[in-house]
């Protein structure tokens, strides 16, 4: 009998992936963790039964999360990653020789350990010399640190469970405070399509635009996420994601990408009318 | 017990919609036709159990199919729609007072009749005076007609069953022959993400670029279609979808859109690297 992993995209919409093998299941201090191997998406893992990362399309999420801010400010040296236990965001960051230091703050050590074991595709650069791993609550870290960062990457789960504190006004304000003058924050910003994620998209955008000089969202086609229309937040102390984009950053460092390119970068900020209206009314 | 409509996106991926009511089911001369009402997507219909159009997101597909070519050539007067039995493409076309004549060729009269009855949201402009309905095979129509068209809209199903003839070299060549000097063809062009649709995307692109002076694809976020990353083909006798775009067409005619705008138009042609590579190797 074939086995399927099913995610409820809403109460009335389901997405199901045929499973080759259920590789691992446990309950950490923070959440339920499962790793699977599948026919269509390769290996993937879930937290509290929500799909996080698949081998088939993780490149889309991680490239768009990292290369967008790095093209806007190639002088980024000091980076803070909050969440992102799979290591994919760190992997893309390590491709820039210009990045000097990456602090990654992930609340759940078991996620990192298991990704290193079962998902080397994303986790294989967590041992880079520039990377410092902190297993603690990201919302506390940004409150207490005396470091300053050029870029903060909030690579969080949805705002339920352990990820909830990474969507609060206090958290965004603390991020703002520890960013340098040209600082940029990018975050996982939910989806505009189904009601639940749309609600969270609006809440996050409202908070970010009240704190940062500039805040918008950009989008990518991520088929394994609910609706396939997924958003990232881009907030800065002034840098503009299109006007300030540099044309040759990836070429200079010979970084080859499977999804990202400069046209895609600019296009990602062109929002459909219905999304613009929801954000204006946020 | 709750009922669900499930579509196999691949053999190993399923998409399921919770059904309020199964409104209609029959087998026409050409295919199985079903209409449903659902909680998340409103009403929708399927042909041979493949989802065609939902009330929730049909605007994305139809706006992108029609407003893109009309912005590139606002002088379009004579239009041929092939397929599109739901009437959504015709509805968007009738919003342009400059469009003088719309010939719609749909093989299956029952699809049109049932959409007029159960899906007025898309079908309500099929009675517009400029619209002529032909219930016949589109691939035969383009071979036999002596009309010339400024725009051909190939609003087809997937290339299996009745839609198969709308993906052949002969069909595209006949379309080319009946287009005017500034002619444009747009078509439903599958998706780059899963293997089956990617294969069809490549086949269609290869044929179109061998016949037309210019051929590319553009994309939209359509959550009810497999992967949510859906493509349209844009082929022309020379007009370029971005260089030739006019800035004020929808404003002039006071056409309000929920998805389409000029930034989205341009962005839709910015393809991810992996899609570009597949098309280059087509």
Residues A80 and A43 in one domain: no
CATH number at residue A230: 3.40.50.150
Residues A78 and A137 in one domain: yes
Instruction: Give the one of A12, A227, A258 whose C-beta lies nearest to B38's C-beta.
Output: A12
Residues A163 and A62 in one domain: yes
- Domain of residue A221 covers 58-280
Q: Helix, strand, or coil here: B250?
A: helix
Interface of A with B (CB under 8 A): 4, 10-18, 38-41, 57, 60, 193-194, 219, 221, 223, 227-229, 257-261, 263-264, 266-274
Please give the Cα distance from A272 to B72 (Å, whole number): 19
The verdict on ipTM greater than 0.90 is yes
Give A238's DSSP letter: S
* CB spacing of B40 vs A194 below 8 angstroms: yes
Residues B50 and B86 in one domain: no
How far the first Cα of chain B sits from its last, in Å, is 47
The residue among A216, A245, A213, A220 whose CA lies nearest residue A233 is: A216
Residues A135 and A232 in one domain: yes
- Per-residue pLDDT of A181-214, as tens digits, reads 999 999 999 999 999 999 999 999 999 999 999 9
Residues A17 and A122 in one domain: no
Residues A63 and A200 in one domain: yes
Is this model's pTM higher than 0.95 or not? yes
* CB spacing of B15 vs A15 below 8 angstroms: yes
- Per-residue pLDDT of B9-27, as tens digits, reads 999 999 999 999 999 999 9
Q: Which residues contact A141 (CB under 8 A, 6 or more apart)?
A: A82, A105, A134
Residues B191 and B85 in one domain: yes
Choose the catalytic residue: A34, A86, A150, A155.
Answer: A155
> Looking at the 3D structure of chain A, how many domains does it have?
2
- Per-residue pLDDT of A235-269, as tens digits, reads 999 999 999 999 889 999 999 999 999 999 999 99
Taking CB atoms and an 8 Å cutoff, what residues of chain B touch A39? 11-12
Phi, psi at residue B275, to the nearest 5°? -75, -45
Q: What is the mean pLDDT of residues A268-279?
A: 98
Residues B135 and B195 in one domain: yes
B137 is an active site residue: no
Residues B11 and B116 in one domain: no
Residues A114 and A204 in one domain: yes
Please give the Cα distance from B194 to B45 (Å, whole number): 23
Please give the Cα distance from B14 to B7 (Å, whole number): 6
CATH number at residue A30: 2.30.140.10
Residues A34 and A149 in one domain: no
Taking CB atoms and an 8 Å cutoff, what residues of chain A touch B271? 263-264
């Amino acid at each position: 009998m074939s086995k399927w992993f099913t995610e409820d995209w809403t109460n009335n919409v389901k997405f199901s992936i045929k499973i080759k093998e259920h590789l691992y299941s446990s309950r950490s201090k923070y959440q339920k963790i499962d790793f699977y191997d599948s026919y269509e998406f390769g290996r993937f893992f879930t937290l509290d039964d929500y799909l996080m990362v698949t081998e088939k399309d993780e490149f889309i999420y991680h490239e768009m999360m990292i290369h967008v801010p790095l093209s806007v400010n190639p002088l980024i040296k000091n980076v803070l990653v909050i969440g992102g236990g799979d290591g994919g965001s760190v992997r893309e960051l390590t491709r820039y020789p210009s990045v000097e230091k990456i602090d990654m703050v992930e609340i759940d050590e078991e996620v990192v350990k298991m990704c290193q074991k079962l998902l080397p595709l994303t986790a294989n650069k967590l041992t880079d010399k520039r990377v410092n791993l902190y297993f603690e609550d990201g919302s506390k870290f940004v409150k207490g640190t005396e470091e300053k960062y050029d870029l903060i990457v909030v690579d969080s789960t949805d705002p339920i469970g352990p990820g909830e504190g990474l969507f609060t006004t206090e958290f965004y304000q603390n991020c703002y405070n520890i960013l340098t003058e040209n600082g940029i924050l990018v975050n996982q910003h939910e989806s505009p399509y189904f009601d639940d994620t749309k609600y969270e998209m609006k809440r996050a955008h409202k908070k970010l635009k009240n704190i940062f000089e500039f805040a918008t969202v950009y989008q990518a086609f991520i088929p394994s996420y609910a609706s396939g229309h997924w958003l990232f937040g881009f907030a800065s102390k002034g840098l503009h994601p299109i006007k300030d984009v540099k044309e040759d950053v990836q070429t200079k460092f010979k970084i080859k990408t499977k999804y990202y390119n400069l046209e895609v970068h600019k296009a990602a900020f062109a929002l459909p009318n219905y999304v613009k209206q929801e954000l204006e009314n946020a």
